[in-house]
Amino acid sequence: MQNNIPIKRSPLKLILLVFILSIPFWLADNFVPRLPLPIKLPVSALQFIVTLVLTCIFVYREESFAGIIRLFKRVFDVRGIKNKIWYLPIFLLNPLIMLLSYGILYLLGRPLPAEPLIPWLEIPIFFVIFFLAAACEEVCWTGYVIDPLQERWGALAASAFLGIVWALWHILPWLSIQPPLWVAGQALSSIVSRIVIVWLYNNIGKSLIVAILFHDMKNVSEFAFPNYGSHYDPVVSSLITTVIALLVVGLWGPATLARLRFRSQAK
Protein backbone atom coordinates (compact mmCIF):
# COMPACT_ATOMS: atom_id res chain seq x y z
CA MET A 1 0.00 0.00 0.00
CA GLN A 2 1.41 3.37 -0.98
CA ASN A 3 0.73 6.17 1.48
CA ASN A 4 0.83 9.84 0.55
CA ILE A 5 3.00 11.48 3.18
CA PRO A 6 2.32 15.20 3.58
CA ILE A 7 5.21 17.39 2.43
CA LYS A 8 5.31 19.42 5.63
CA ARG A 9 5.42 17.53 8.88
CA SER A 10 7.01 18.42 12.19
CA PRO A 11 8.52 15.20 13.59
CA LEU A 12 11.10 16.86 15.84
CA LYS A 13 8.52 19.22 17.32
CA LEU A 14 6.22 16.27 17.99
CA ILE A 15 9.02 14.34 19.69
CA LEU A 16 9.82 17.32 21.93
CA LEU A 17 6.18 17.70 22.97
CA VAL A 18 5.90 13.95 23.65
CA PHE A 19 8.75 14.23 26.15
CA ILE A 20 7.34 17.35 27.80
CA LEU A 21 3.82 15.97 28.20
CA SER A 22 5.15 12.62 29.49
CA ILE A 23 6.69 14.29 32.55
CA PRO A 24 3.51 13.96 34.69
CA PHE A 25 3.50 10.20 34.02
CA TRP A 26 7.14 9.94 35.10
CA LEU A 27 6.44 11.92 38.27
CA ALA A 28 3.45 9.70 39.04
CA ASP A 29 5.80 6.74 39.51
CA ASN A 30 6.97 8.37 42.75
CA PHE A 31 3.48 8.47 44.24
CA VAL A 32 1.38 5.71 42.67
CA PRO A 33 2.05 1.96 43.03
CA ARG A 34 2.71 -0.25 40.06
CA LEU A 35 -0.13 -1.18 37.75
CA PRO A 36 -2.28 -4.03 39.19
CA LEU A 37 -1.02 -6.67 36.76
CA PRO A 38 0.91 -9.95 37.18
CA ILE A 39 3.69 -8.37 35.13
CA LYS A 40 6.04 -5.66 36.37
CA LEU A 41 4.84 -2.36 34.88
CA PRO A 42 5.02 1.17 36.34
CA VAL A 43 2.14 3.62 36.11
CA SER A 44 4.18 5.62 33.59
CA ALA A 45 3.70 2.75 31.13
CA LEU A 46 0.42 4.55 30.37
CA GLN A 47 2.38 7.36 28.69
CA PHE A 48 1.44 5.84 25.32
CA ILE A 49 -1.68 8.02 25.65
CA VAL A 50 0.56 11.04 25.01
CA THR A 51 1.82 9.77 21.67
CA LEU A 52 -1.69 8.99 20.45
CA VAL A 53 -3.24 12.31 21.47
CA LEU A 54 -0.39 14.47 20.19
CA THR A 55 -0.21 12.65 16.86
CA CYS A 56 -3.94 13.14 16.35
CA ILE A 57 -3.55 16.86 17.07
CA PHE A 58 -0.66 17.22 14.62
CA VAL A 59 -2.40 15.23 11.89
CA TYR A 60 -5.62 17.19 12.37
CA ARG A 61 -3.71 20.45 12.05
CA GLU A 62 -2.03 19.31 8.83
CA GLU A 63 -4.69 17.15 7.15
CA SER A 64 -7.94 17.91 9.01
CA PHE A 65 -10.18 15.17 10.41
CA ALA A 66 -9.87 13.15 7.20
CA GLY A 67 -6.17 12.68 7.96
CA ILE A 68 -6.97 11.16 11.35
CA ILE A 69 -9.41 8.74 9.71
CA ARG A 70 -6.74 7.70 7.19
CA LEU A 71 -4.23 7.19 9.99
CA PHE A 72 -6.58 5.01 12.03
CA LYS A 73 -7.43 2.93 8.96
CA ARG A 74 -3.74 2.13 8.57
CA VAL A 75 -3.68 0.66 12.09
CA PHE A 76 -5.72 -2.37 10.97
CA ASP A 77 -4.87 -2.46 7.26
CA VAL A 78 -3.07 -5.74 6.49
CA ARG A 79 -3.45 -5.39 2.71
CA GLY A 80 0.06 -4.00 2.45
CA ILE A 81 1.48 -7.36 3.59
CA LYS A 82 1.24 -8.90 0.13
CA ASN A 83 4.03 -11.46 0.58
CA LYS A 84 2.84 -13.57 3.51
CA ILE A 85 6.38 -14.79 4.23
CA TRP A 86 6.88 -11.51 6.10
CA TYR A 87 4.51 -12.72 8.80
CA LEU A 88 7.32 -15.03 9.96
CA PRO A 89 9.69 -12.29 11.21
CA ILE A 90 6.76 -10.17 12.38
CA PHE A 91 5.43 -12.87 14.71
CA LEU A 92 8.35 -15.23 15.30
CA LEU A 93 11.51 -13.12 15.49
CA ASN A 94 10.93 -11.85 19.03
CA PRO A 95 9.97 -15.28 20.46
CA LEU A 96 13.09 -16.68 18.78
CA ILE A 97 15.23 -13.99 20.42
CA MET A 98 13.75 -14.90 23.80
CA LEU A 99 14.37 -18.61 23.18
CA LEU A 100 18.01 -17.98 22.25
CA SER A 101 18.37 -15.67 25.24
CA TYR A 102 17.05 -18.36 27.58
CA GLY A 103 19.51 -20.88 26.12
CA ILE A 104 22.44 -18.51 26.53
CA LEU A 105 21.47 -17.71 30.12
CA TYR A 106 21.26 -21.45 30.83
CA LEU A 107 24.70 -22.11 29.30
CA LEU A 108 26.19 -19.21 31.28
CA GLY A 109 24.83 -20.69 34.48
CA ARG A 110 22.70 -17.65 35.22
CA PRO A 111 19.82 -18.03 37.72
CA LEU A 112 16.65 -19.30 36.05
CA PRO A 113 13.34 -20.48 37.54
CA ALA A 114 13.41 -23.99 38.97
CA GLU A 115 9.98 -24.44 37.40
CA PRO A 116 9.83 -22.26 34.26
CA LEU A 117 6.37 -20.85 33.71
CA ILE A 118 5.14 -19.53 30.37
CA PRO A 119 1.66 -18.01 30.83
CA TRP A 120 0.10 -19.59 27.75
CA LEU A 121 -3.47 -18.78 28.81
CA GLU A 122 -2.65 -15.12 29.44
CA ILE A 123 -0.65 -14.60 26.24
CA PRO A 124 -3.75 -13.79 24.12
CA ILE A 125 -4.74 -11.20 26.74
CA PHE A 126 -1.22 -9.77 26.72
CA PHE A 127 -1.37 -9.65 22.92
CA VAL A 128 -4.55 -7.55 22.91
CA ILE A 129 -3.38 -5.19 25.68
CA PHE A 130 0.04 -4.66 24.15
CA PHE A 131 -1.47 -4.29 20.66
CA LEU A 132 -3.50 -1.32 21.87
CA ALA A 133 -0.46 0.22 23.57
CA ALA A 134 1.77 -0.43 20.55
CA ALA A 135 -0.82 1.07 18.21
CA CYS A 136 -0.95 4.24 20.31
CA GLU A 137 2.83 4.55 20.11
CA GLU A 138 3.35 3.50 16.51
CA VAL A 139 0.82 5.94 15.05
CA CYS A 140 3.38 8.45 16.30
CA TRP A 141 6.77 6.80 15.72
CA THR A 142 5.95 4.97 12.48
CA GLY A 143 2.77 6.65 11.27
CA TYR A 144 4.06 10.20 11.63
CA VAL A 145 7.73 10.54 12.55
CA ILE A 146 9.82 8.01 10.62
CA ASP A 147 9.03 8.87 6.98
CA PRO A 148 10.11 12.52 7.03
CA LEU A 149 13.23 11.51 8.97
CA GLN A 150 14.06 8.87 6.35
CA GLU A 151 13.65 11.42 3.59
CA ARG A 152 16.20 13.66 5.30
CA TRP A 153 18.74 11.18 6.64
CA GLY A 154 18.15 7.79 5.05
CA ALA A 155 16.71 4.70 6.67
CA LEU A 156 19.54 3.62 8.99
CA ALA A 157 20.27 7.05 10.47
CA ALA A 158 16.56 7.79 10.87
CA SER A 159 15.78 4.46 12.52
CA ALA A 160 18.81 4.70 14.84
CA PHE A 161 17.82 8.23 15.85
CA LEU A 162 14.23 7.19 16.46
CA GLY A 163 15.46 4.15 18.39
CA ILE A 164 17.45 6.44 20.69
CA VAL A 165 14.39 8.65 21.14
CA TRP A 166 12.26 5.59 21.88
CA ALA A 167 14.77 4.34 24.46
CA LEU A 168 15.19 7.73 26.17
CA TRP A 169 11.42 8.11 26.43
CA HIS A 170 11.30 4.88 28.46
CA ILE A 171 14.41 5.44 30.61
CA LEU A 172 12.68 6.91 33.67
CA PRO A 173 9.82 4.38 33.67
CA TRP A 174 12.37 1.56 33.48
CA LEU A 175 14.54 3.07 36.22
CA SER A 176 11.52 3.23 38.52
CA ILE A 177 11.33 -0.59 38.63
CA GLN A 178 14.66 -1.98 37.33
CA PRO A 179 18.42 -1.66 38.07
CA PRO A 180 20.70 0.44 35.80
CA LEU A 181 22.29 -2.52 33.97
CA TRP A 182 18.86 -3.85 33.03
CA VAL A 183 17.89 -0.39 31.80
CA ALA A 184 21.05 -0.10 29.70
CA GLY A 185 20.35 -3.45 28.07
CA GLN A 186 16.73 -2.56 27.39
CA ALA A 187 17.78 0.77 25.90
CA LEU A 188 20.11 -0.98 23.45
CA SER A 189 17.35 -3.47 22.68
CA SER A 190 15.00 -0.60 21.83
CA ILE A 191 17.50 1.08 19.52
CA VAL A 192 18.36 -2.00 17.48
CA SER A 193 14.74 -3.22 17.51
CA ARG A 194 13.71 0.07 15.92
CA ILE A 195 16.13 -0.62 13.06
CA VAL A 196 14.45 -3.99 12.57
CA ILE A 197 11.00 -2.37 12.70
CA VAL A 198 11.92 0.16 10.01
CA TRP A 199 13.40 -2.65 7.90
CA LEU A 200 10.09 -4.51 8.06
CA TYR A 201 8.10 -1.33 7.48
CA ASN A 202 10.09 -0.33 4.41
CA ASN A 203 10.02 -3.80 2.88
CA ILE A 204 6.30 -4.37 3.42
CA GLY A 205 4.82 -1.40 1.60
CA LYS A 206 5.18 0.97 4.57
CA SER A 207 2.35 -0.82 6.32
CA LEU A 208 1.77 0.68 9.77
CA ILE A 209 0.31 -2.51 11.23
CA VAL A 210 3.64 -4.26 10.60
CA ALA A 211 5.35 -1.96 13.11
CA ILE A 212 2.46 -2.33 15.55
CA LEU A 213 2.50 -6.14 15.43
CA PHE A 214 6.30 -6.38 15.80
CA HIS A 215 6.22 -3.93 18.72
CA ASP A 216 3.35 -5.92 20.22
CA MET A 217 5.21 -9.23 19.89
CA LYS A 218 8.33 -7.71 21.45
CA ASN A 219 6.37 -6.81 24.58
CA VAL A 220 4.45 -10.09 24.68
CA SER A 221 7.66 -12.12 24.29
CA GLU A 222 9.48 -10.25 27.05
CA PHE A 223 6.67 -10.68 29.56
CA ALA A 224 6.08 -14.31 28.56
CA PHE A 225 9.73 -15.03 29.39
CA PRO A 226 9.80 -17.21 32.54
CA ASN A 227 8.30 -16.25 34.88
CA TYR A 228 6.19 -13.30 33.73
CA GLY A 229 9.41 -11.68 32.57
CA SER A 230 11.06 -11.94 36.00
CA HIS A 231 14.20 -13.60 34.58
CA TYR A 232 14.25 -11.72 31.28
CA ASP A 233 17.76 -10.31 30.71
CA PRO A 234 17.74 -7.46 28.16
CA VAL A 235 21.53 -7.35 28.04
CA VAL A 236 21.63 -10.80 26.44
CA SER A 237 18.58 -10.28 24.23
CA SER A 238 19.83 -6.89 23.04
CA LEU A 239 23.09 -8.43 21.85
CA ILE A 240 21.15 -11.04 19.86
CA THR A 241 18.95 -8.31 18.36
CA THR A 242 22.05 -6.27 17.53
CA VAL A 243 23.40 -9.16 15.46
CA ILE A 244 20.07 -9.35 13.62
CA ALA A 245 20.09 -5.59 12.98
CA LEU A 246 23.66 -5.76 11.65
CA LEU A 247 22.64 -8.56 9.27
CA VAL A 248 19.69 -6.46 8.10
CA VAL A 249 21.89 -3.44 7.41
CA GLY A 250 24.53 -5.58 5.70
CA LEU A 251 22.07 -7.40 3.44
CA TRP A 252 19.56 -4.64 2.66
CA GLY A 253 21.84 -1.59 2.82
CA PRO A 254 21.75 1.45 5.13
CA ALA A 255 20.16 3.89 2.68
CA THR A 256 16.72 2.29 2.51
CA LEU A 257 16.99 -1.03 4.43
CA ALA A 258 14.86 -2.31 1.56
CA ARG A 259 17.22 -3.17 -1.30
CA LEU A 260 18.42 -6.73 -0.93
CA ARG A 261 21.96 -6.60 -2.26
CA PHE A 262 22.07 -10.12 -3.70
CA ARG A 263 18.88 -9.46 -5.63
CA SER A 264 20.25 -6.16 -6.95
CA GLN A 265 23.48 -7.83 -8.09
CA ALA A 266 21.50 -10.58 -9.83
CA LYS A 267 19.65 -7.95 -11.86
Mean pLDDT, residues 67-93: 95
Residue 3 lies in a domain: no
Residue 2 lies in a domain: no
As for how many domains the chain has, the answer is: 1
Is residue 29 within a helix (H) or strand (E), and if so which, with residue range? none
Residue 206 lies in a domain: yes
Sign of the torsion angle spanned by Cα atoms 146, 174, 48, 237:
positive
Mean pLDDT, residues 5-15: 81
Residue 243 lies in a domain: yes
Grade residue 265 by pLDDT with cuts at 50, 70 and 90: low
Residue 1 lies in a domain: no
Tell me: pLDDT of 1 over 50: no
For the chain, how many helices (H) and strands (E)?
10, 0
What percentage of the chain carries pLDDT values higher than 70? 96
For the stretch 203-230, pLDDT in tens is: 999 999 999 999 999 999 999 999 999 9
**Range(s) of the domain holding residue 154:** 11-266
Tell me: pLDDT of 5 over 60: no
Grade residue 263 by pLDDT with cuts at 50, 70 and 90: low
Q: Are 79 and 1 in contact (CB under 8 A)?
A: yes
Residues 6+ apart with CB under 8 A from 7: none
Largest CA distance in the chain: 61
For the stretch 82-132, pLDDT in tens is: 999 999 999 999 999 999 999 999 999 999 998 999 999 999 999 999 999
Mean pLDDT, residues 50-68: 96
Distance CA 225, CA 230 (A): 7
Mean pLDDT, residues 41-60: 96
- The pLDDT, as a whole number, for residue 261 is 79
Tell me: pLDDT of 2 over 70: no
Identify which of 257, 14, 243 has the alpha carbon closest to the alpha carbon of residue 159.
257
Tell me: pLDDT of 29 over 70: yes
Grade residue 32 by pLDDT with cuts at 50, 70 and 90: confident
Query: Cα 65 to chain center, whole Å?
Result: 26
Residue 211 lies in a domain: yes
For the stretch 150-191, pLDDT in tens is: 999 999 999 999 999 999 999 999 999 999 999 999 999 999
- The pLDDT, as a whole number, for residue 38 is 75
Q: Are 131 and 224 in contact (CB under 8 A)?
A: no
Residue 204 lies in a domain: yes
Residues 6+ apart with CB under 8 A from 37: none
Residue 171 lies in a domain: yes
